[in-house]
Structure 1
Amino acid sequence: MPKIRAILTDIEGTTSSISFVKDVLFPYSRERLPAFVVTHEDKPEVQHWLHEAAREAGLVSASEQEMIDLLIGWIDSDRKSTALKALQGMIWADGYRDSDFRAHIYEDAARRMHAWHAIGLPIYIYSSGSVPAQKLLFANTESGDLTPILSGYFDTETGAKRDSASYTRIATAIDLPATDILFLSDIVEELDAARLAGMQTTLLARGTEGCPADSQHPCAVDFDSVEVDVS
């Protein structure tokens, strides 16, 4: 295989625990979304994403309460909506600012990302969360501000994470052959799409069960176990 010249990594279940997103971030945005919409809907950026959410839902017009109900429903169903993720990111920004929480990151992920950065290996993030939300998360982790060691961010504006074309676009944006990029994720379907685009892949199988015996991708139980050939 070609040597690895860049790392592309998922967040939830890969660098950070699923429980942080499900049990901290989602409830925080759900609780505060109604008041946020009421007090911020006159702001151009908020207006833009509310209009995008309405368009995505096929609504020609919608009341303030209808939009709130729609977005709450999307949070509850974990809808991968770019508009929802953008609005959630604005709400989470307040939480980070007010120190209501710090972002979880696995200690091995933070340590290994620092090590990769130290040898000149660029690290990119690809998550369904908006780019601003990603930047906030990595700027406010339990291991400190990790944004200085990250080279770029991608979200669903690039494309769906289970669509191989998204990874082709990312490789083009990074300006590297897809074969020189290693993608890390805990979701097999995302890894399948990345491999179809030509990327190298590794499944992160955190937890007590470990790597599945029938894994079609190289597998690691943590970042320390990820094999990275840069020679």
Structure 2
Amino acid sequence: MIKAILTDIEGTITRISFVKEVLFPYAAKQLATFMRLNENKAHVAEQIAALKAIINEPDADIESVISVLLKWIEEDKKITPLKQIQGLIWQTGYEQADFKGHLYPDAFEFLQAQHAQGTALYVYSSGSVRAQQLLFKYSDYGDIRALFSDFFDTKVGAKQEQAAYNTIVNQLPFSANEILFLSDVASELDAAKAAGLKTLHLIRDGQALSEHPYVHDFSTVKLEQFV
């Protein structure tokens, strides 16, 4: 019996183009100015230090750091310092109403219904927890953060690695086989399945079929089918 749902965001409950065409360009445009103005603030300096450790350049100046971050954005890298900094930049965009957090209507209705039925909802995304919470705070449907019990990002590990899902399960009051993981990426579903979770593949934008159960939207999903 499924008692909890762990959901990806991009391509699963939000349109891929929202991230690719709205959030990423916004962060890229604002990044250089943001970094120069905030490099000495503790929450930014922490991510700069982490970035320097990753590239093994402890003496890199701020312009070099900016260049690396912009390159990582262009390459869509799922690297924690980048994701944390993007979240900080997006906060300004949300607060200024430059954009709202997009959700598919069927995804919102599904999550709302599951929450009402007592299913615990969790989020696991490569975007930082800060970015996740901003999307749900400033969503098309208002502040819906209360639907979710907790949020996870790449601090628990990469989404294509079984160990990340083991770490998440160890933090939840449920067995792995009581948790349904939702994603549009087969390699993430493979890793979750290896950790013992149930899986559901969202195929919204022409993704190839996989061995996982799949749907094109949430309108037909019944948790009873996952036994």
TM category (shorter chain) comes to over 0.9
Q: CA deviation at 1:58?
A: 1.4
Q: Which runs of 5+ in 1 are unaligned?
A: none
Tell me the distance in 2 between the aligned counterparts of 1:163 and 1:210: 20
Structure 1 stretch 159-168 or stretch 221-230: which is displaced more?
221-230
Q: 2:157 aligns with which of 141, 156, 159?
A: 159
The residue that corresponds to 1:120 in the other structure is: 118
CA contact (8 A) 2:184 2:207 kept: no
Q: CA deviation at 1:210?
A: 7.8
The residue that corresponds to 1:56 in the other structure is: 54
The residue that corresponds to 2:9 in the other structure is: 11
The residue that corresponds to 2:22 in the other structure is: 24
Distance 1:226 1:211, change over 3 A: farther
Supply the AA of the counterpart residue of 1:78: D
Tell me the distance in 1 between the aligned counterparts of 2:207 and 2:42: 46
Instruction: Count residues with an aligned counterpart.
Output: 226
TM-score where L is the length of structure 1: 0.95
Q: Does 1:218 align with 2:216?
A: no
The residue that corresponds to 1:189 in the other structure is: 187
CA contact (8 A) 2:5 2:181 kept: yes
Distance 1:175 1:40, change over 3 A: same
The residue that corresponds to 1:228 in the other structure is: 223
Supply the AA of the counterpart residue of 1:90: L
Distance 1:47 1:210, change over 3 A: closer
Secondary structure of the structure 2 residue equivalent to 1:203: strand
Q: 2:170 aligns with which of 172, 175, 178?
A: 172
Question: C-alpha offsets along residues 141-166 of structure 1, whole Å, 9 cap, x if unaligned?
Answer: 11221101111100000011011111
CA contact (8 A) 1:219 1:226 kept: no
Secondary structure of the structure 1 residue equivalent to 2:167: helix
The residue that corresponds to 2:204 in the other structure is: 206
Tell me the distance in 2 between the aligned counterparts of 1:165 and 1:45: 27
RMSD of aligned residue pairs (Cα, Å): 1.4
Secondary structure of the structure 1 residue equivalent to 2:46: helix
The residue that corresponds to 2:85 in the other structure is: 87
TM-score where L is the length of structure 2: 0.96
CA contact (8 A) 1:182 1:201 kept: yes
Supply the AA of the counterpart residue of 2:60: A
Q: CA deviation at 1:89?
A: 0.3
CA contact (8 A) 1:82 1:157 kept: yes
Tell me the distance in 1 between the aligned counterparts of 2:181 and 2:42: 35
Tell me the distance in 1 between the aligned counterparts of 2:215 and 2:143: 25
Q: Which runs of 5+ in 2 are unaligned?
A: none
Secondary structure of the structure 1 residue equivalent to 2:223: coil
Secondary structure of the structure 1 residue equivalent to 2:155: coil
Secondary structure of the structure 2 residue equivalent to 1:157: helix
Distance 1:54 1:211, change over 3 A: closer
* 4+ long deviations beyond 4 Å: none
CA contact (8 A) 1:210 1:221 kept: no
CA contact (8 A) 2:156 2:164 kept: yes
Q: CA deviation at 1:61?
A: 1.0
The residue that corresponds to 2:146 in the other structure is: 148
Tell me the distance in 1 between the aligned counterparts of 2:88 and 2:108: 25
Q: Does 1:72 align with 2:70?
A: yes
Q: CA deviation at 1:88?
A: 0.5
Distance 1:210 1:192, change over 3 A: closer
Tell me the distance in 2 between the aligned counterparts of 1:124 and 1:13: 16
